[in-house]
Amino acid sequence: MRGRFIAIEGLDRSGKSTQCDRLVAHLTETTGNKTHLFKFPDRSTPMGQIINQYLTSGVALSDQAIHLLFSANRWERIEDIKALLEKGENVVLDRYYISGIVYTQAKGLERQWCTNPDLGLPVPDITLFLTVSPEVASQRGAYGEERYEKIAFQKRVAALFHEVAQRNCITVDASGTEEEVANAINQCVETVQIGEALDKFSGL
């Protein structure tokens, strides 16, 4: 049987990375299979390095160009992800195409335009959306260092995330303790049915 394919989405500082690490450990233990974490953007690839410069050192790129790089950054890792799933290993994603779409749409670009480059990517078995208010997130460590970490922008992203999550995600309250959030995530993951074939992303 193919592995489990789970994405975690949310605002900056919503605790995604911590929860992804915990979920990897939980899946390794409960399924007995290897579990891999992929983080998007993957800053280690050639495209990821340009994305990193854009996010951290103010390198100028048009909204369209950076959007296409974020999407290309997913396409450059997807064959590796599919191969692992086919071997029966699990894959956890720290952000995926929903982040790609809502962060660019929050800049004023059209939803359909933002969706197009990601069409055809494999759809996760479940996408968890960690909710935390932009105000609470902004109190957390190192906030404000990267380009998108401004409360006004995060509020626009949050509104779009909430709208999209109603149809595409399971929402998890991430304002509790690390342990509480991890328990909620583990419960959601246990109920997921794994089909053999992966669906192709066809829009939100």
Binding stretches for ligand 2DT (CB under 6 A): 12, 40-41, 55, 70, 95, 99-100, 103, 148
Question: Which of Mg ion, ligand 2DT, none does 3 bind, CB closer than 5 to 8 A by kind?
Answer: none
Sort 30 into a burial class: Cβ within 10 Å, 0-12 / 13-18 / 19+: middle
Among Mg ion, ligand 2DT, none, residue 161 binds (CB under 5-8 Å by kind): none
Q: DSSP label at 89? A: -
Return the number of the residue (2 or 40) whose C-beta is nearest ligand 2DT: 40
Answer yes or no whether residue 12 interacts with Mg ion by CB under 5 A.
Answer: yes
The partner residues of 170 in beta bridges, in order of sequence, read 128
Stretch that binds Mg ion, among 9-17, 32-40, 73-81, 132-140 (CB under 5 A): 9-17
By the 8 A CB rule, do 9 and 92 touch?
A: no
Nearest distance from C-beta of residue 33 to ligand 2DT, angstroms: 25
Q: Would you say 3 or 41 has its CB closer to ligand 2DT?
A: 41
Binding part of the chain for Mg ion, among 12-20, 26-34, 82-90, 175-183 by CB under 5 A, reads 12-20
CA dist., res. 8 & res. 19, Å (int): 8
CA distances from 88 to 3, 74, 172, 179 (A): 4, 21, 27, 28
